[in-house]
A and B are shown apart, each in its own frame.
Chain A
Amino acid sequence: MSDINAVTTAEAPGPAATRPADASSAKPRSLAGDAWRDLRRSKVFWIAAVLVAVILLMAVWPTLFTSADPANCQLANRHHPAGGGALFGYDFQGCNVYARTIYGARDSIFVAVVATLIAGVIGLTVGLVAGFYGRWADAVLSRFIDIVLGVPFLLAAIVLARRFTVHETDTGVLAVTLTLGLLGWTTAARVMRSAVITARNQDYVTAARMLGAGPGRLMFRHILPNAVGPFLVVLTLLLGINIAAEATLSYLGVGLQGDAISWGTSIAGNGPYVRVVAGPVVWPSIFLAVTVLAFIMLGDAVRDAFDPKRR
């Protein structure tokens, strides 16, 4: 029941202005139109877009990049150096590291993107509602966040893995995705809530309210665009964290399993041998890092383009 009342004090610094109305141009332009024009001119955006496209292509069509079979592992090849179709050598099970890294993109990207989307939707909704309405809504939702924070990842992962594993050969993609998505939204939600609390006390919101704007319009037209910045940053990073978290879950024995090939399982499986041969750990890590980089760049570019304050 947090009563968060806005009292604007005169001496307080803060972004006092509303979105400056662009009076100079004759034709009114939409925010999206402006953003797209900006994006098209952004080098960062194009680099990121190309990277993301390549990674997605890898996930959808791995045979385009390698003809080797990632599941064909011969112990006789254990830790053999690069050669033949194996650009990056062989890992401790005698699997082709290059092929596994390429094929690993699919599950890694799927898990990370879907889990991040789930977390994003829940986080946005909970954060926006709790921050905007305050009082009861905030009390209930915030305490709910506290409870979710308390649930250990490992426990939830085990329970979900059991509920969503229908058959022994199920690789557990769904369970891992749900675990990361259903437990990973708390950060996004609290960040969103804090940004909304800050934004809803701004003058322009008060002004809009005075002018008779309804809660929906206030939330989505006025508060959200100004509060979404930190939320987007958290979300883009969450993508990377989710790829890595899948590795940690694998290490704890509740991640992807069986025939699943992913960057996380490669990193966790080869981790103990990193002193002997580093390649099988380093290559998937590089792919992971580049993926995260692409999404960070994309996120930055998109956010900059949409930032109302930049106009």
Chain B
Amino acid sequence: MTRYIVRRLLQMVLTFFGATFVVYALMFANQDDPYQVLAGDRVVSDSQRAALNAQYHLDKGFFTQYWYYVKGLLTGDFGTSLTGRRIGDMLAEAWPITIKLTLLAIVISAVVAIAAGVFSAVRRGGIFDHVTLVLTLVVLAMPIVVLAPVAQLIFGVKLGWFPVTVTRDANLYQLLLPALVLGTLVVATELRVTRSSVAENLRADYVRTARAKGLSTRRVVGVHVLRNSLIPVITLIGVDLGVLMSGAIVTEGVFNIPGVGFNLFRGIRTEDGPVVVGFVSVLVIVFLVVNLIVDLLYAVLDPRIRYE
């Protein structure tokens, strides 16, 4: 087990640099003229260009630029954004709020999806099953670009139950509405997958055995079936982090949350390579850790899976 974890941690280092390389390459492919973006309608003169190039090396080839970036990274320096901010500071400011937001969204959607999924699987074809199906469809059919402003308008402005916008030091309650909106992105898939794998497991032999032994339905479902059905669901939660991150671009904009999505969006728009790569590098580390936890949970859920 320990050896396995150590190996995975070592893989992380490689993956980390792989990810920075891929994203740096994408940004490079996307790069037109970041200086011009900053100048807006005005033309950037050759002399300004020369001065900016001395600082940001954008006139150099791809590998030279990437080498400068990696050299900085190795000394713990994420570089500076084109607007002159230290990217390390930007990361430190943006990450905490986004982690809170996505964690909350994950917890909410997982609780809702698992509870509703189990229930509708047990009563397959019942009213509850149909209602959840309809709700799933509604959630799927409402893109987050519509859902987020509408939710903000109804629950924030009209009803006043939640704050309309959120600041960097928001508490859990203030983040609840954006987290709910964000959670809708993944709740449908999680719910349907829970339902399908619970339904499948309900037909398994061990359920018949357990029932025959006289165990209550609640115990059969709650302990045996649920546990065996969770693997696909847990897997989903691990990957959904990615979905949530791209959803955060819209959600954070609508609720004015200065988090990762907010910064990524602007970074991509202003062709600010180092900013985007910086944020994505941390993002990839988060994925690596989360998917390691997910893989370890497999072994917890199914004792037949062992890691050495």
Residues of chain A at the chain B interface (Cβ within 8 Å): 1-9, 12-17, 139, 142-143, 145-147, 149-156, 158-159, 162-163, 186-187, 190-191, 193-195, 197-198, 201, 229-230, 233-234, 236-238, 240-241, 244-245, 247-248, 251-252, 264, 267-268, 271-272, 274-275, 281, 285-286, 288-289, 292-293, 296, 303, 307, 309-310
Additional 14 contacts, C-beta under 8 A, given A16-B206, A230-B232, A251-B145 = A2-B295, A7-B304, A13-B224, A17-B205, A143-B11, A143-B18, A147-B15, A152-B249, A152-B280, A190-B236, A230-B196, A236-B192, A247-B146, A267-B143
Query: Inside 8 A of A244's CB, which chain B residues have their CB?
Result: 140-144
Please pick, from A1, A147, A307, the residue contacting B22 in the complex, using a CB distance under 8 A.
Answer: A147
A-B contact count (CB 8 A): 230
Query: Inside 8 A of A139's CB, which chain B residues have their CB?
Result: 11
**Given A3-B308, A237-B140, A309-B200, A13-B193 contact (CB < 8 Å):** no
How far is B142's CA from A303's CA once the two chains are assembled, in angstroms?
26
Query: Inside 8 A of A145's CB, which chain B residues have their CB?
Result: 239, 291
In the complex, whether B197 has a CB less than 8 A from a CB of chain A is: yes
Considering only CB atoms, which chain B residue lies closest to A139 in the complex?
A: B11
Query: Inside 8 A of A143's CB, which chain B residues have their CB?
Result: 11, 14-15, 18, 288
**Given A146-B284, A155-B23, A186-B242 contact (CB < 8 Å):** yes
How far is B231's CA from A197's CA once the two chains are assembled, in angstroms?
10
From B25-33, B58-66, B104-112, give the one contacting chain A.
B25-33
Interface of B is mostly: helix
In the complex, whether B102 has a CB less than 8 A from a CB of chain A is: no
In the complex, whether B19 has a CB less than 8 A from a CB of chain A is: yes
Q: How far is the CB of B125 from chain A (nearest CB, A)?
A: 10
B303 contacts A2, CB within 8 Å? no
In the complex, whether B165 has a CB less than 8 A from a CB of chain A is: no
Query: Inside 8 A of A251's CB, which chain B residues have their CB?
Result: 143, 145, 250
B231 contacts A15, CB within 8 Å? no
Give the interface residue-count category, chain B. Answer: 35 or more
Query: Inside 8 A of A15's CB, which chain B residues have their CB?
Result: 201, 204-206
Considering only CB atoms, which chain B residue lies closest to A186 in the complex?
A: B239
How far is B280's CA from A153's CA once the two chains are assembled, in angstroms?
12
Considering only CB atoms, which chain B residue lies closest to A150 in the complex?
A: B284
Interface centre among A234, A247, A310 (most CB of B within 10 A): A234
Residues of chain B at the chain A interface (Cβ within 8 Å): 4, 7-8, 11, 14-15, 18-19, 22-23, 26-27, 29-30, 133, 137-138, 140-146, 149-150, 153, 188-189, 192-193, 196-197, 200-201, 203-206, 210, 224, 228, 231-232, 234-236, 238-243, 245-246, 249-250, 264-265, 268, 276, 280-281, 283-284, 287-288, 291, 295, 298, 302-308
Q: How far is the CB of B27 from chain A (nearest CB, A)?
A: 7
Considering only CB atoms, which chain A residue lies closest to B140 in the complex?
A: A240
How far is B191's CA from A240's CA once the two chains are assembled, in angstroms?
14
How far is B62's CA from A287's CA once the two chains are assembled, in angstroms?
46
Please pick, from A152, A190, A198, A267, the residue contacting B146 in the complex, using a CB distance under 8 A.
Answer: A267
B146 contacts A146, CB within 8 Å? no
How far is B233's CA from A191's CA once the two chains are assembled, in angstroms?
8
A285 contacts B141, CB within 8 Å? yes
Considering only CB atoms, which chain B residue lies closest to A127 in the complex?
A: B235
**Given A159-B29, A292-B137, A264-B189 contact (CB < 8 Å):** no
How far is B19's CA from A256's CA once the two chains are assembled, in angstroms?
28
Query: Inside 8 A of B288's CB, which chain A residues have their CB?
Result: 143, 146
**Given A151-B280, A158-B30, A230-B232, A3-B193 contact (CB < 8 Å):** no
**Given A7-B304, A151-B280, A2-B4 contact (CB < 8 Å):** yes
A234 contacts B193, CB within 8 Å? yes
